[in-house]
């Protein structure tokens, strides 16, 4: 509609919470919920609190970074703000990580490493080659992967689409994520008993839909189990038709 | 791993094409493909080509914008570059759209309007209230929505997560998308015969996984039909357990 003005009803949406309009049947739906993560550790030390061990300090930096990057955006967060949030000096932060990208890289690696360990184990294991066994393996992988994505306090995987992640600093992450994707397609191929490169990609992406689901809804720990089951079953169902 | 150096193997990944490493079983997979859209119109007029009708001009602007925004990022594209790509003067572009956001808004609306029309029709239609009928309706909506997302030349829905889209200029889009989401949950509720706010959100997000699927793979028109079926069935399967 060229030339038509764009309507601005005059209120702003927050990044992660959009009011839902009423559906035509007249049933009002309100699924706009605050997206406060459920697993946030209370009492994180702030600036001035002395740190004890290096491992703790690194964990604090990563936790503070995960919170700030996912709520304010990677590009908007300065290392100064990050150090403040972690309760340490900037110089201390640089002792653990060379730069902000290295912190994000470490966070991203954590979103795939655990699932990849299982994927390697499944692919390496003794196998009878049956589609049934392969289905069980694919379900197991999808379930663990979905659970990991659901359980992450800060939904770090939502940062996958951050433009900076295309930088070569993130090569290792891209390689591991690609290996995980390849494991899904290899297990899927055994389920299907045939090659179908595009269809075999679908389960992996269905599992990753957890990331956008979490961006719009608050998931409590009690919900994770059945949502994990639902998503994992949907992923597997694609190959059993 | 605090202090450990991040490895840079020394090559850059392009935004949309990551090499896939070899899975441990030894089957090499190579699913790195160029993401040239399949529906690109050849011979789009460039600067200097006279335009004939206003409708054509607006369509050219939208098409050029969809290409540039999805390949280079909304923030990186200037209105000057956009006008050049559409083959018109900047002043002409402002005759049709007040600014760059209005162009993106028009593009985003097009990603939901068609599916929303169907959703309203389904919800308004005569209904026998059976779960079977509701399942058919949900499948129909999921299928049309997935097909629309698969068929869009430039995968405009990948711009949903662009930070600027949180701006209130995009209120109408957010409202329509929320109404579409609400239609999924309402149809899902009839399938389930019960309320389960979180589970009822899953089908909508499974359908939207088409967007990330398309970001990593090239889909040809021949593939759209069966991929649409696979995704739509997976979305419906979540509620039939």
Per residue in B109-122, pLDDT (tens digit) is 999 999 999 999 99
Q: Nearest-CA distance from B42 to chain A in Å?
A: 23
Tokens 């720990």: give the residue.
A221
What is d(CA A76, CA B19) in angstroms, rounded to the nearest whole number? 29
Interface test with A, best of B230, B232, B240 (most A CBs within 10 A): B230
- The CA radius of gyration of chain A, in Å to the nearest whole number, is 21
pLDDT at A127: 73
Nearest to A31 by CA among A21, A40, A41: A21
CA B7 to chain centre: 34
Residue B127, C-beta contacts closer than 8 angstroms, at least 6 positions apart: B133, B134, B190
What is d(CA A212, CA B205) in angstroms, rounded to the nearest whole number? 7
Nearest to A216 by CA among A14, A72, A16: A16
Which chain B residues are closer than 8 Å to A97 by Cβ? Answer: 2-3
Residue B138, C-beta contacts closer than 8 angstroms, at least 6 positions apart: B184, B187, B188, B191, B203, B235, B236, B239
C-alpha angle B218/B206/B131, rounded to 5°?
135
What is d(CA B4, CA A105) in angstroms, rounded to the nearest whole number? 12
The mean predicted confidence, pLDDT, of chain B is 81
Which of B24, B174, B178 is facing A124, going by the closest CB pair?
B24
pLDDT at A109: 98
| CATH topology assigned to domain A54-96 | Arc Repressor Mutant, subunit A (1.10.10)
Which of A12, A55, A227 is facing B202, going by the closest CB pair?
A227
- CATH number 1.10.357 given to B105-237: yes
- Whether the per-residue pLDDT at A156 is higher than 50: the answer is yes
Which chain A residues are closer than 8 Å to B168 by Cβ? Answer: 8-13
pLDDT at B241: 60
Q: Nearest-CA distance from B13 to chain A in Å?
A: 6
pLDDT at A201: 96
- The CA radius of gyration of chain B, in Å to the nearest whole number, is 21
> Strand, coil or helix: what is A57?
helix
Which chain A residues are closer than 8 Å to B172 by Cβ? Answer: 6-7, 9
Of how many residues is chain A composed? 241
Q: How far is CA B90 from CA B74, B94, B95, in A?
A: 17, 6, 9
What's the pLDDT band for A241 if we cut at 50, 70, 90? low
Q: Which residue of A has its CA nearest to B235?
A: A234
What is d(CA A193, CA B30) in angstroms, rounded to the nearest whole number? 19
A13–B168 CB contact, under 8 Å = yes
pLDDT at B8: 31
B179–A120 CB contact, under 8 Å = no
- Whether the per-residue pLDDT at A50 is higher than 70: the answer is no
Decide: B140 and B122 in contact? Cβ < 8 Å.
Answer: yes
Helices B54-72 and B79-86, interaxial angle, to 10°? 120
Which chain A residues are closer than 8 Å to B235 by Cβ? Answer: 234
Lowest mean pLDDT of A2-11, A89-98, A153-162, A216-225, name the range: A2-11
Structure letter (DSSP) for residue B2: T
A231–B29 CB contact, under 8 Å = no
Structural domain spans, chain B = 105-237
- Whether the per-residue pLDDT at A78 is higher than 90: the answer is yes
Instruction: Convert A89-106 to b/e letters by CB count within 10 Å (16 or more is b).
Output: eeeebeebbeebbbbbbb
Decide: A170 and A108 in contact? Cβ < 8 Å.
Answer: yes
Residue A122, C-beta contacts closer than 8 angstroms, at least 6 positions apart: A137, A140, A141, A183, A187
> Strand, coil or helix: what is A11?
coil
B58–A2 CB contact, under 8 Å = yes
Q: How far is CA A136 from CA A133, A139, A141, B60, B168, in A?
A: 5, 5, 9, 50, 46
Which of B11, B170, B212 is facing A208, going by the closest CB pair?
B212
Q: Nearest-CA distance from B72 to chain A in Å?
A: 10
pLDDT in tens, B148-180: 999 999 999 999 988 889 889 999 999 999 999
B234–A199 CB contact, under 8 Å = no
Q: Nearest-CA distance from B110 to chain A in Å?
A: 11
A25–B123 CB contact, under 8 Å = yes
Q: Nearest-CA distance from A97 to chain B in Å?
A: 6
Which of B21, B170, B185 is facing A178, going by the closest CB pair?
B21
Which residues, listed in sequence order, are joined to residue B17 by a DSSP beta bridge? Answer: B14
The alpha helices in chain B, defined as continuous H runs, are 54-72, 79-86, 90-96, 100-124, 131-151, 171-192, 202-216, 221-237
- Whether the per-residue pLDDT at A29 is higher than 70: the answer is no
**Structure token digits, residue A147:** 């659970």
The secondary structure of B23-73 as a DSSP string is: PTTS-----------S-PPTT---TTSPP--HHHHHHHHHHHHHHHHHHH-
Q: Which residue of B has its CA nearest to A117?
A: B24
**Structure token digits, residue A132:** 């049934």
Decide: A143 and A232 in contact? Cβ < 8 Å.
Answer: yes
A6–B172 CB contact, under 8 Å = yes
- Whether the per-residue pLDDT at A177 is higher than 90: the answer is yes
C-alpha angle B234/B149/A180, rounded to 5°?
55
- Whether the per-residue pLDDT at B53 is higher than 70: the answer is no
- Whether the per-residue pLDDT at B20 is higher than 50: the answer is no
Bigger pLDDT: B41 vs B144: B144
Q: How far is CA B14 from CA A33, A165, A168, A174, B44, in A?
A: 36, 10, 9, 11, 25
Q: Nearest-CA distance from A42 to chain B in Å?
A: 23
Interface test with B, best of A26, A160, A230, A236 (most B CBs within 10 A): A230
Decide: B31 and A185 in contact? Cβ < 8 Å.
Answer: yes
């Amino acid at each position: 509609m060229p030339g038509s003005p764009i309507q601005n009803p005059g209120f702003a949406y927050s990044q992660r919470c959009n009011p839902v309009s009423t559906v035509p049947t007249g049933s009002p739906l309100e699924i706009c919920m605050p997206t406060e993560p459920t697993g946030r550790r209370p009492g994180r030390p702030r600036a001035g609190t002395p740190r004890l061990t290096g491992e703790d300090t690194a964990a604090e930096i990563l936790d503070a970074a995960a919170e700030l990057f996912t709520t304010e955006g990677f590009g908007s967060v300065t290392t100064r703000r990050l150090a403040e949030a972690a309760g340490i000096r900037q110089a201390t932060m640089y002792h653990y990580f060379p730069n902000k990208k290295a912190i994000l890289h470490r966070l991203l690696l954590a979103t795939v490493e655990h699932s990849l360990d299982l994927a390697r184990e499944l692919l390496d294991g003794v196998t009878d080659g049956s589609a049934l066994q392969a289905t069980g393996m694919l379900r197991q992988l999808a379930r663990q992967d979905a659970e990991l994505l659901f359980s992450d306090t800060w939904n770090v995987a939502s940062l996958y689409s951050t433009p900076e992640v295309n930088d070569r600093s993130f090569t290792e992450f891209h390689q591991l994520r690609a290996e995980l994707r390849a494991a899904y397609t290899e297990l899927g191929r055994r389920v299907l008993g045939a090659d179908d490169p595009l269809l075999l990609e679908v389960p992996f992406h269905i599992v990753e839909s957890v990331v956008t689901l979490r961006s719009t809804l608050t998931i409590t720990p009690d919900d994770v189990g059945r949502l994990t089951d639902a998503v994992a079953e949907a992923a597997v169902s694609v190959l059993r038709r």
